[in-house]
Amino acid sequence: LTAPGTQVVDIPSGLPATVSSPTADDPRLRRLALNQKTIERWSVPEAVAGCVRTGLEAIGLWREAVQAYGLADSARLVADAGLRVSSLCRGGFFTSLDDAAWKRALEANRRAIEEAATLGAECLVLVVGGLATGSRDLPAARTRVAESIHELLPHAVEHGVRLALEPMHPIYTADRGVVATLSEALDIAERFPVDAVGVVVDSFHVWWDPQIDSQIARAAGRIASVQLADWITPLPHDALLARGMLGDGHIDLRRLVALCDQAGYTGDIEVEIFNADIWAADGAAVLETIRRRFIEHVS
Amino acid sequence: LTAPGTQVVDIPSGLPATVSSPTADDPRLRRLALNQKTIERWSVPEAVAGCVRTGLEAIGLWREAVQAYGLADSARLVADAGLRVSSLCRGGFFTSLDDAAWKRALEANRRAIEEAATLGAECLVLVVGGLATGSRDLPAARTRVAESIHELLPHAVEHGVRLALEPMHPIYTADRGVVATLSEALDIAERFPVDAVGVVVDSFHVWWDPQIDSQIARAAGRIASVQLADWITPLPHDALLARGMLGDGHIDLRRLVALCDQAGYTGDIEVEIFNADIWAADGAAVLETIRRRFIEHVS
């Protein structure tokens, strides 16, 4: 393995001889999408320009960045660039047990649905939220997730937006996402029409799961988004920024993507990495590294 | 919730009025065991003295501390003090894919089995180990775990030592324990006689699991050890020292222990906390806090 954390951006001369240098129209890159959070400093126009320059066909957008540039302007920019919007991140955080706070969260999600529709996003990613403040009642928080999807469904259907329920690594169960496994996400998603509610398969969140093979197979038709980041050790100090560059860690990414392909997934594959070292690096160099690593470790 | 990380040792005057102060022969403390790693600075004699002074009936020992004091002397000391040895920590780390290294690991585990027998420990806790060095093959590492148990079984049976397979939180899958769920641990344990191979239910490792209710029920007769620590947020920087004092975090400990009781578990309940702040605190004060918190949050 590449030594973790030592080098977040490849030096081109260090490219293994067995991997031919990717070009802008390389078919192996056809499904690669940049989740814009991977290069956090880039605005929507910078991220779009980076994707176009690198020959990518899709981008995953974040609401904060979209709002900063303007929703209508962002929609026009990606459309003019001919990019698919592989996902909009993110809705969710609707596990409050306080009814007034819960209703506010649902309203905020309705706005997110509208934004996803305006952008023509393939799906709206839902990070469901952790335990309610002061609560240790995990079953109650999980029930709230299903109730929230039920409440949001009509608005999502009306706007033609697919909701994408994201199971999160158990490191985040307490404070970010009480849905901890793909199995649990599917238990909820399967109560709703397949076109309206899908799931996210994010390598960082699900790679450890002993049931992952059977659950990805079960998810056939439900996979709304595939996202990639590596699991690196030692784990970076900030749990929220613990994700590694493809190939720097322990996940067999090619195997995970193959499982999704076998389940019939033909959509984009986003690279979504939250990592302080990567955020500090030059954006164009990071995107170059992603291109190379995607071929070495995924496609 | 108690504000995490602000106070690892209770100030007695802060005791809630609803909880009567525990006394040395309090029946609510009958199953409380100190895992000696919780007070890392204590030698075996200090930990034994602490348990006796506090009225505890059981102690979980660590091999390093036992070896430092001497195996025979440690065995004599706990026997003379009338303490049960609720567990010996730990064997395992047998996921190497290199045959010579694997055989050395198995030999080291045979020594651990003999030590557990000498101490009269209820079980030998097995932390199975992470991915083999340089490998991303998680299924292969998991297969190695079952093979290792198979290899160790005759020695364990001969010495009357129960092996206790510990599922570990997915934060440790890469580098410490590829068995990530109780379900997976039971899939392995159930291939072997119930008296020879059990499982550990450690709150820190399993609390997030959406299948935990059904899997603890399934574990009836297989639960060899119950260990408690809380999940605190924000997660401490060192993932190995991320566990919190009972009641400082997000786990419904009483519910988890009740599930074990309903599955027929009648053994000791160890408090095992790895936390730099707790390790830095006065040992006697930590043990006092554990006594109070055990009543408030568990028994």
At B23, the pLDDT band (50, 70, 90 cuts) reads low
Residues of A with CB under 8 A from a CB of B: 1, 131, 134, 136-138, 142, 169-171, 173-175, 179-181, 183-184, 187, 207-211, 231, 233-235, 237, 239, 249-252
What is the model's pLDDT at position A27?
86
Q: Which two tokens stand for residue B273?
A: 């906390």
- Identify the pLDDT of residue A6: 44
Length of chain B: 299
Q: What is the mean pLDDT of chain B?
A: 93
Least confident of B4-8, B64-68, B117-121: B4-8
DSSP code string of B171-231: GGTTTTBS--SHHHHHHHHTTS-TTTEEEEEEHHHHTT-TTHHHHHHHTTTTEEEEEE-EE
Is pLDDT above 70 for B24? Answer: no
The chain A residue lying nearest B173, using CA atoms, is A208
Instruction: Tell me: pLDDT of B17 over 70.
Output: no
**Rg, Å, chain B Cα set:** 18
The model's pLDDT over B34-55, given as tens digits with 9 standing for 90+, comes to 999 999 999 999 999 999 999 9
pLDDT at position A11, please?
55
Output DSSP code: residue A84. Answer: E
Does pLDDT of B1 surpass 70?
no
| Cα–Cα distance, A256 to B137 (Å, whole number) | 12
Which of B273 and B237 is assigned the larger pLDDT?
B273
Least Cα separation, residue B139 to chain A (angstroms): 8
Grouping H, G, I as helix, E, B as strand and the rest as coil, residue B22 is coil
Contact B213, B183 (CB under 8 A): no
Tokens of residue B104, six digits? 């050395």
In 10 A of CB A246, how many CB atoms?
Answer: 23
Q: Hey, what amino acid is at B154?
A: P
**Segment B54-73, tens digit of pLDDT:** 999 999 999 999 999 999 99
Q: Are A227 and A35 in contact (CB under 8 A)?
A: yes
Query: Are residues A144 and A97 in contact, defined by beta-carbon separation less than 8 angstroms?
Result: yes
- In this prediction, residue B189 carries a pLDDT of 98
Q: What is the pLDDT of residue A106?
A: 98
Asked if B10 contacts B36 with a C-beta cutoff of 8 angstroms, the reply is: no
Q: Which amino acid type is present at position A210?
A: P
pLDDT tens, residue by residue, B247-263: 999 999 999 999 999 99
Q: Measure the CA–CA gap between B140 and A74, rounded to whole angstroms.
A: 46
Which pLDDT value is given to residue A13? Answer: 43
Kindly tell me if the per-residue pLDDT of B273 is higher than 60.
yes
Chain A partners within 8 Å of B209 (Cβ):
170, 180-181
Helix boundaries (H) for chain A: 44-54, 63-69, 71-80, 99-119, 138-158, 182-189, 203-206, 212-218, 253-262, 276-280, 283-297
pLDDT value, residue B14: 40
Nearest to B60 by CA among B226, B195, B257, B209: B226
B252 and A175 within 8 Å at the Cβ level: the answer is no
Q: Is B23 helix (H, G, I), strand (E, B) or coil?
A: coil
Q: How confident is the model at residue B13 (pLDDT cuts 50, 70, 90)?
A: very low
Average pLDDT over residues B98-119: 98
CA distance to partner chain B, nearest, from residue A251 (Å): 6
- Per-residue pLDDT, A97: 96
pLDDT of B166 > 90? The answer is yes
Read off the tokens for B257.
């222990």
Residue B247: CB atoms within 10 A of its CB come to: 19
Please judge whether B252 and A137 are an interchain contact, meaning their C-beta atoms are less than 8 angstroms apart: yes
Q: What is the pLDDT of residue A44?
A: 98
Q: Are strands B197-202 and B163-165 parallel, antiparallel or unpaired?
A: parallel
> Are B44 and B61 in contact, with CB atoms under 8 Å apart?
yes
pLDDT above 90 (res B18)? no
Q: What is the DSSP string of A239-286?
A: GGG-EE-TTSSS--HHHHHHHHHHTT--S-EEE----HHHHHS-HHHH
Chain B contacts to A (CB-CB under 8 A): 1, 131, 134, 136-138, 142, 169-171, 173-175, 179-181, 183-184, 187, 207-211, 231, 233-235, 237, 239, 249-252
* Both structure tokens of A33: 């999408």
Q: How far apart are CA B131 and CA A43, in angstroms?
A: 38
pLDDT at A14: 40
Q: How far apart are CA A162 and CA A165, in angstroms?
A: 10
Question: Which residue in A131, A234, A239 is closest to B250 by CB distance?
Answer: A131
Q: What is the pLDDT of residue B7?
A: 57
Convert the pLDDT of each residue in B195-245 to its tens digit: 999 999 999 999 999 999 999 999 999 999 999 999 999 999 998 999 999
Amino acid identity of residue B203, one-letter, is S
Q: Specify the DSSP element, H or E, that contains B92.
A: strand B84-92
Is A166 in a helix, a strand, or coil?
A: coil
For chain A, residues with pLDDT lower than 70 are 1-8, 11-24
The H or E element that residue B80 is part of is helix B71-80
Residues 6 or more apart from B172 whose CB is under 8 A from it? Answer: B130, B239
Q: Mean pLDDT score of chain A, rounded to an integer? A: 93
What is B246-262 written as a DSSP string? Answer: TTSSS--HHHHHHHHHH
- Residue entry with tokens 């260990």: B227
- Cα angle A209-A242-B242, degrees, rounded to a multiple of 5: 80
* Nearest chain B residue to A235, by CA: B239
Which pLDDT tens digit goes with each residue over A89-107?
Answer: 999 999 999 999 999 999 9
What is the Cα–Cα distance from B113 to B156, expressed in whole angstroms? 6
Cα A205 to Cα A227: distance, rounded to the nearest angstrom: 9
CA dihedral A23, A28, A29, A31 (to 10 degrees): 160
C-alpha B40/C-alpha B154 separation (Å) is 33
How far, in Å, CA of B76 to CA of A257, rounded?
A: 56
Give the up-direction half-sphere exposure of residue B47: CA atoms within 13 A in the CB hemisphere. 26
